[in-house]
Amino acid sequence: MTTPSEGVGFRSKRGPVLIALMLSSGLVAIDATIVATAVPSIVHDIGGFSSFPWLFSAYLLAQAVSVPVYAKLSDMAGRKPIILTGIGLFLLGSILCGLAWSMPTLIAFRVVQGLGAGAVLPVAITIAGDIYSLAERAKVQGYLASVWAASSVVGPTLGGVFSSLGIWRGIFFVNIPLCCVAAWMLLQRFHETIERIKHRVDYLGSALLTVCLTLVILGALEGGQAWAWDSPTSIAVFAIGSVLLGVFVLVERRAAEPVLPPWVVSRRLLITTALISFGAGAIVLGLTSYVPTFLQGALSVSPVLAGLSLAALTIGWPISASQSGRFYLRIGFRATAIIGITVTVLGSAALAVTAYTPNVVLVAASCFVAGLGLGLLATPSLIAAQSSVDWNERGVVTGTNLFARSIGSSLGVAVYGAVANAIYAGSPGGGKDPQAIVSASAAIFFAVLVSAALTVAAVLAMPSTALEAAASQGMAPGSQLQKARPPEDGP
């Protein structure tokens, strides 16, 4: 197991590991933004315009469905081999994508990248939960969240540069040095001692979970796009996925070491924090997907300015995430999450109310407020879930939390896309009519507000923990840490 040491930051004993975790997370974060900018160049070079949305769908699908499996394996075999496997797959996928000769091969290689990302992100966050104490984790999450803020600017910029130079393959080759440095630093500086015991891998459960989740997420991503929601294909995809999900539940009840243990869905704290993560995923996806389109379509602003307005969201998040520890150590996780969701609702409401009078400054300010709220919502709820279990359960808990966020994002795409398409269909100019874009964006921002309002219920249902009890009794923040935190050395 890993043992925490003093200090947080790049110069501390754990600084090299923190840098490696940030580099690893950066691989996933940059990839989420860099590819979109280069799509026109990719299509011009290798064709396949009608299929290019699968560059994103295939990647997100592979990433989402593999998270629960990797999370369980990290609890069985240790974090280090799993995150190195993920980095290796991401490196392989990046090289293959850079060498792709057609759109179908590029999509297939994006799947390999997605499988790597499915291991990197949850295990990186789990390692942070292993080597840092409860008092330190918020600040560390701020470091990790700052990677996404930087990537929201760096990703589109790099993509634009490579595209303008006619070397779009560089957006994938740039991952090679990042992967190598991250892997080398983890090999050299991250050490863990694992108690070697014989495990029984739940192959059947893993296969069933992967297939059923693939079908359900695929149905959500492609419904209303590749096929109509009420088409035989859509019905069949959801029906088969639901049946396999039922079979999976039955199999897990008899498995010796289930890939998704029943206790994950039986503990109130884990269920409510997963629902909070689900809501955060839906909120973030709605803003990141439609704010740039809204500004470009309604005000004809440049893509760079639209991107910077959205970047206010990813700047606000790490700022509040890094400071959330000051809140939850004094008032508890639940109270901090309540403050976070309240601020998120205010930011979402501001966007919805001002949508028919578009203004770049107002949009950026609203996104910044929403980001501040999400940092106080997502970070404390994740840390609360991690802190409620021992080392050998932390991977599954972290993976479940992040998987819930992926599902929220996927379903958010489906709902927001259906809303936008319905409004565009009723406009003579379709998606090119500025007024239709304003109307569609206003409806989507209202849907984001509804998502935030629904998340309030999950936050209010979140149970109190030992930390809340200590805070309510007026104990000093440092006095309840040992009581509230599971042993860092694991079982």
What pLDDT does 489 receive? 35
Tell me which residues of the chain have a pLDDT lower than 70. Answer: 1-8, 36-37, 49-53, 194-199, 303-304, 429-431, 465-491
What pLDDT does 195 receive? 67
Residue ranges covered by each domain of the chain: 11-195, 200-256, 261-484
Please tell me the CATH superfamily of domain 11-195, with its number: MFS general substrate transporter like domains (1.20.1250.20)
* Torsion of the alpha carbons at 427, 429, 432 and 434, rounded to the nearest 10: -70
433: left (phi over 0), alpha (psi -120 to 50) or beta: beta
What pLDDT does 6 receive? 59
Alpha helices in 199-357 (DSSP H): 203-222, 232-254, 268-299, 303-331, 333-354
Residue 209 burial class via C-beta count within 10 angstroms: exposed 0-12, middle 13-18, buried 19 and up = buried
What pLDDT does 347 receive? 95
What pLDDT does 410 receive? 77
What pLDDT does 353 receive? 92
Q: What is the pLDDT of residues 351-362, one digit of tens each?
A: 999 988 888 889
Measured between alpha carbons, how far is 187 from 121 in angstroms, rounded to an integer?
Answer: 17
Query: Quick check: helix, strand or coil at residue 223?
Result: strand
Judge if pTM exceeds 0.75. Answer: yes
CATH of 261-484, picked from 1.20.1560.10, 3.90.950.10, 1.20.1250.20, 3.30.70.1450, is: 1.20.1250.20
Rounded to 10 deg, the angle between the 15-46 and 134-164 helix axes is 30
Measured between alpha carbons, how far is 401 from 379 in angstroms, rounded to an integer?
Answer: 11
Measured between alpha carbons, how far is 388 from 79 in angstroms, rounded to an integer?
Answer: 19
**11-195 and 261-484 in the same fold:** yes
Query: Quick check: helix, strand or coil at residue 227?
Result: strand
